Structure 1
Amino acid sequence: MNKKPLLKMCLLLFLPLSILAQKANTTLFTKADTLRGAITPERAWWNLLHYDIQVRPNLVEKTIQGAVSIRFKVLAKPKRMQIDLQQPLVIDSILYIGKTKQPLSFTREGNVAMVNMPNNLIVNMEGLVQVYYQGVPRAAIRAPWDGGISWTKDELGNPFVATSCQGLGASVWWPCKDHQYDEPENGVTISVRVPDTLMNVSNGRLINTVQHDDATKSWIWQVNEPINNYSVSMNIGKYIHMHDEYNGEAGKLSLDYYVLPQNKLGAERQFAQVKPMLECFEYWFGKYPFYKDGFKLVEVPYLGMEHQSNVAYGNKYMNGYLGRDLSGTGWGLKWDFIIVHESGHEWFGNNITSKDIADMWIHEGFTNYSETLFTQWLSGKEAGSAYNKGARKNIKNDKPILGIYNVHNTGSGDMYPKASAMLHSIRMSMNNDEKFRQLLRHLNKKFYHQIVTTPMIEKEISLYAGYSVKGIFAQYLTTTLVPSFDYKLSADGRTLSYRYSNAVNNFEMPLQVKTTNGVLVLKPKVKTWQTLRLTPSQAANLQLERLENYFYININGRKEVQIKMN
């Protein structure tokens, strides 16, 4: 008798809700998934300090060759070092740079190289490893969703090349420690050598260009602050440069735009939205997190991506999402989706980064909510709520938002609109916009340039909300159920009975109900009816059905019919 299925069933009885909610995900994970998604022993013993990336793409052959120097600090007794580089790229050699250059032996296991380190490494010392590599990197199939390198030409026939690798991983085009938990504390230097008729635009600030004898030029960019790997980008084209400045919370912020010359007029018109966007986001989220590295928009041959200090833009210089309003309300056509959404990631995703991609809702949910806040900034609070509600039509409730941890797995795409609806519901339950604003600013200050988890965010929101949001997080992040607010009104409209159903047991979200006598606060319990006797003014204009405009819940109510006896 095979006892393994029985053993697995017994273990399920002891799993917490957040794990049980993910049992619908029947993906079979492999050792390669663990190597990609876990903080393996070969990753844990060393801390990233700096990357120096030098690459030379061949735009005709669609190949790449380069060298990446990895500076690190020893945290514990060294083991082998895990370096990620996705096939079919090939590692030619790996050197340890000390007093002399020492070749290091390594073995390849799929997309991972396990490197045998020198014996003389001790805790707290710094080391430097140099990786030489070359080959044919993965070509993007449907960037940015199915990324890699986009080898394209612009409408004038000039090379137009860009990287996009969120989810897929930076190791698709350069060797690195490809996990979000560890960012290089001292930033990254990026040098890209291209034909001298073209320009490469990468993250941070341009610190040098080097003209070579073979009609090529190296463009050298320096990122001064920590950066997640997938944000590091290479963008090659026949660009022109436009410059501006923004007077922000931390002083003058440089604004640099790199666009194709034929799109200059469109860029001048569309990029006028950058300053209002920055003003809005600094008001709600706090100072722009990367003043040292500046803010850039760079035109790319795909829709867009949140590359830190170098936001990729491909929205065709039109409002909405390629001219469409994802909310279906009309409010989303008042602004450029890519400028607003991808720039919002500078605060949530780039400043605050999730430790595991299973928690990617922290990036996408808050950033999706930035669209609501910008709509409000332009058109008022009711417009913001209407946009947020309209975007709910994109919620599929196909599977939980949280992914499976330690295997490089993300949850449902509902991490965008549903997580945003959750945040709006929490904000409405607080009924204090200034306190909610201070919460968002607090998150960006407390976790400035840091790595976070869902429980860390939950804890901080609970402090500001004044009640535990644990049940709200469990409801919206780990189940596909939409809570129902059930109510019954007596025939005279004066007695209200109410409860939550279709919800986890600890789901507790106060509801702010507008009446002619101000706001009535209800605190429904799950499956337990509560009864409240209303004042005449409360009963006169009780707007229970309108709760759906502000909270992601279903309304299920009825009024009792008064029966007259002869």
Structure 2
Amino acid sequence: MISPNPPSRMIRPTILLVFILCLFAHFPGTGVRAQTAAGYYADQTFTLADTLRGALRPERTSFDVTYYELHLEIDVNERAIAGRVEMDYLVKEPTRRIQLDLFRNMTIDSVVQNGRLLHYDRVENAVFIDLARTQVPDKLVERMTIHYGGVPTVAENAPWDGGFVWALDQRDRTWIGVACEGTGASLWWPNKDYLGDEPDSMLVSITVPKRLYVASNGNLRAEVLLDNRYQKRFDWFVSYPINNYNISLNIGSYVHFSDTYKSFDGEELDLDYYVLDYNEEVARKQFKQVDKMLAAYEHYFGKYPFWDDGYALIETPYLGMEHQSGIAYGNRYMRGYLGGLIPKDMDWDYIIIHETGHEYFGNSISVADHAEMWVHESFTTYMEALYVEYRYGEPDARRYLVTQKPFVRNESPIVGPLGVNFGNFGGSDHYYKGAWILHTLRHVLNDDPLFFGMLRSFYQDNEHSIVNTAQVVDYFSKYAQQDLNPFFEQYLYHPSIPVIQLRERGSRVEYRLRADVAGLALPVGLVIDGKPVRVEATEAWQQLSGDTSIEKIRVDEGRFLVDLEVAEENR
């Protein structure tokens, strides 16, 4: 997702108290570090709907979804949808009851399996379905069909506020989009709305008035004029695992044009663009930067991860979203972020660069819980800087990163409480601060071949998989052959960042590291009398070599996210 337009913030309402420390014990990838973060959320309250959506229970762990078919008819005039979802799944544990999710404002007409109507109960946005028999683990795939419809949630501020966007283009024609990250795909179609269970593939079949075009994820398999001659059906197929929130539909007066990208090994990737008809000329010019961007990301991480499904940009009535192989684009063909947010001497489209980065981190590598969304957003935000470094050079990448520092808030831990569908969307630290954590790590290691080798290796070893924070930290520690747990514990599980304290002792200056994590040692770059100096800061006072004064010392702010302060005795 795009970061909130700085410096705006989003506040999430909460109602029902959940005992966070207990919840942490039930999820993988947690431990002492996660317990530390939980303390900051002990007073946070959550709705019952949050816990039903976010938590794992036997009704969810007992089955694994392998395939969805989404068949929908769009009623443009009533702003309503109706259809069915066919779901294939494998049973993992014996069960007589499973949980799916669908917002309570949507109506379920029936749930059918093997020709039998199934009983179900609805609790908030959860749907508990009673199976006709106890199903046991087997190689056979079970299929279930849910017939449903209704008027889906309307997004008040897409993409940060999830839902349908019912808009008109500049010629007063229907223009529709959907964005639902965080809020959940279950706001518009029934599914197991849990990030840790991605279907292996999916069919999206949408019927609209024939004057309109539907662009979705993956490849267009069929475009069928129906017998009534007034409607057209578009069948799109996704051949890779996909996050539920990445599934989207885009409806409008689109024209399609295409191009190809040639990878470093000579293989060609299909590039498809769906834009409003009156924007075709400007789009053809703006989208030429896709080629250089894909080359940059291939240089650092490897080939585009959804090769068989192709790469697509689809013009939308909202700013943008990383919908897998069908990226939502609404930056109005402007440089930067609607004309700003990047240095004035740079000319590249923020939405293209950022949302494509999510194809690597967010879509290919995903997390199972919204509380760990930093893996999606921090890596992708740092990829913006890597794109700048590839195009313009390392000094300009640092300059670009420095422009993001004012948006670092340090108000709460980047990793939130698990199991309650809480993504820490109240701020932007899992974007900008997260990017700076990676940048700081790069300079703590002080070895670019090591750092970039680690990034590439981590991505390629985890392509098309789901990870958690502990796996990231453990992988980096093993690759770098040093324990990076204290570093990540400080930056991810505490709001504050490390501080270099200074004090004068006669003509000499002493320094130490003040941090929340006991025993943290941090190599830090300082600038003393205008000259770069690298020090190994610990919690013990140490003396800087040479004569200087506190006024002549600063942190190398282009490489490190570390504060500097004068100790109390020298104030």
Under a length normalisation based on structure 1, what TM-score does the superposition of the two structures give? 0.89
Candidates 151, 159, 164, aligned match of 1:136: 151
CA contact (8 A) 1:87 1:137 kept: no
Q: Judging changes above 3 Å, is the alpha-carbon distance between structure 1 residues 11 and 297 closer, same or farther for their aligned structure 2 residues?
A: closer
Q: Does 1:147 align with 2:156?
A: no
Deviations along 1:413-452, whole A, 9 cap, x unmatched? 3111111111100011122222222212112211111111
Matches for 1:210-249 after TM superposition, within 5 Å = 210-214=224-228, 215-249=230-264
CA distance in 2, matches of 1:502, 1:360: 24
Q: Does 1:83 align with 2:100?
A: yes
- RMSD over equivalenced CA pairs, Å: 2.8
Q: Does 1:530 align with 2:542?
A: yes
Candidates 91, 95, 98, aligned match of 1:74: 91
CA distance in 2, matches of 1:381, 1:477: 25
Deviations along 1:484-530, whole A, 9 cap, x unmatched? 123457777xx6643211442143332256899x986422112x113
The CA deviation at 1:121 is 2.7
Q: SS of 1:549's equivalent?
A: coil
CA contact (8 A) 2:411 2:496 kept: no
Q: Does 1:35 align with 2:47?
A: no
Residue 437 of structure 1 corresponds to 452
CA distance in 1, matches of 2:528, 2:498: 23
Aligned length: 538
Q: Does 1:360 align with 2:367?
A: no
Q: SS of 1:376's equivalent?
A: helix
CA contact (8 A) 2:273 2:312 kept: yes
Residue 10 of structure 2 corresponds to none
Q: Does 1:375 align with 2:392?
A: no
Q: Does 1:384 align with 2:401?
A: no
CA distance in 2, matches of 1:170, 1:403: 21
Residue 554 of structure 1 corresponds to 563
Deviations along 1:369-400, whole A, 9 cap, x unmatched? 11111121222111111211220101122222
Q: Does 1:296 align with 2:301?
A: no
Candidates 193, 198, 201, aligned match of 1:183: 198
The CA deviation at 1:314 is 0.1
CA distance in 2, matches of 1:417, 1:260: 32
Candidates 269, 272, 276, aligned match of 1:260: 276
Candidates 324, 334, 339, aligned match of 2:352: 339
The CA deviation at 1:271 is 0.6
CA distance in 2, matches of 1:242, 1:432: 43
CA distance in 2, matches of 1:244, 1:543: 54
Q: Judging changes above 3 Å, is the alpha-carbon distance between structure 1 residues 9 and 220 closer, same or farther for their aligned structure 2 residues?
A: closer
Q: Judging changes above 3 Å, is the alpha-carbon distance between structure 1 residues 514 and 220 closer, same or farther for their aligned structure 2 residues?
A: same
Deviations along 1:254-309, whole A, 9 cap, x unmatched? 10000001111221121111111111111112221110111000000000000001
Deviations along 1:451-490, whole A, 9 cap, x unmatched? 1111111111222334222122222222221211234577
CA distance in 2, matches of 1:253, 1:50: 25
Per mean C-alpha deviation after superposition, the further-off stretch among 380-389 and 357-366 is 380-389
Q: SS of 2:359's equivalent?
A: coil
CA distance in 2, matches of 1:265, 1:69: 40
Per mean C-alpha deviation after superposition, the further-off stretch among 402-411 and 111-120 is 111-120
Residue 297 of structure 2 corresponds to 281
The structure with the largest alpha-carbon Rg is 1
Percent of paired sites with the same residue: 36
The CA deviation at 1:112 is 1.3
CA contact (8 A) 1:398 1:480 kept: yes
CA distance in 2, matches of 1:48, 1:385: 43
Candidates 492, 506, 511, aligned match of 1:498: 511
CA distance in 1, matches of 2:191, 2:98: 11
CA distance in 2, matches of 1:396, 1:515: 27
The CA deviation at 1:17 is 5.6
Candidates 44, 63, 68, aligned match of 2:61: 44
CA contact (8 A) 1:484 1:501 kept: yes
Residue 485 of structure 2 corresponds to 470
| Uncovered stretches (5+) of structure 2, i.e. residues with no partner | 1-18, 26-30
CA distance in 2, matches of 1:159, 1:11: 48
Residue 310 of structure 1 corresponds to 326
CA distance in 2, matches of 1:307, 1:247: 22
Residue 3 of structure 1 corresponds to none
Residue 5 of structure 1 corresponds to none
Q: Does 1:399 align with 2:412?
A: yes
Residue 137 of structure 2 corresponds to 123
Q: Which amino acid aligns with 2:206?
A: V
Q: Which amino acid aligns with 1:280?
A: A
Residue 108 of structure 1 corresponds to 122
| Uncovered stretches (5+) of structure 1, i.e. residues with no partner | 1-7, 562-566
Q: Does 1:56 align with 2:50?
A: no
Per mean C-alpha deviation after superposition, the further-off stretch among 18-27 and 246-255 is 18-27
CA contact (8 A) 1:431 1:512 kept: no
CA distance in 1, matches of 2:495, 2:413: 6
Q: Judging changes above 3 Å, is the alpha-carbon distance between structure 1 residues 9 and 70 closer, same or farther for their aligned structure 2 residues?
A: closer
Matches for 1:161-200 after TM superposition, within 5 Å = 161-185=176-200, 187-200=201-214
The CA deviation at 1:322 is 0.5
Q: Judging changes above 3 Å, is the alpha-carbon distance between structure 1 residues 514 and 27 closer, same or farther for their aligned structure 2 residues?
A: closer
CA distance in 2, matches of 1:118, 1:451: 32
Q: SS of 2:35's equivalent?
A: helix
CA contact (8 A) 1:242 1:258 kept: yes
Per mean C-alpha deviation after superposition, the further-off stretch among 243-252 and 196-205 is 243-252
Q: Judging changes above 3 Å, is the alpha-carbon distance between structure 1 residues 369 and 160 closer, same or farther for their aligned structure 2 residues?
A: same
CA contact (8 A) 1:56 1:192 kept: yes
The CA deviation at 1:20 is 4.3
Q: Judging changes above 3 Å, is the alpha-carbon distance between structure 1 residues 190 and 9 closer, same or farther for their aligned structure 2 residues?
A: closer
Residue 204 of structure 1 corresponds to 218
The CA deviation at 1:351 is 0.6
Per mean C-alpha deviation after superposition, the further-off stretch among 458-467 and 62-71 is 458-467
Q: Judging changes above 3 Å, is the alpha-carbon distance between structure 1 residues 264 and 9 closer, same or farther for their aligned structure 2 residues?
A: closer
Q: SS of 2:340's equivalent?
A: coil
Q: Which amino acid aligns with 1:75?
A: K
Q: SS of 2:288's equivalent?
A: helix
Per mean C-alpha deviation after superposition, the further-off stretch among 389-398 and 170-179 is 389-398
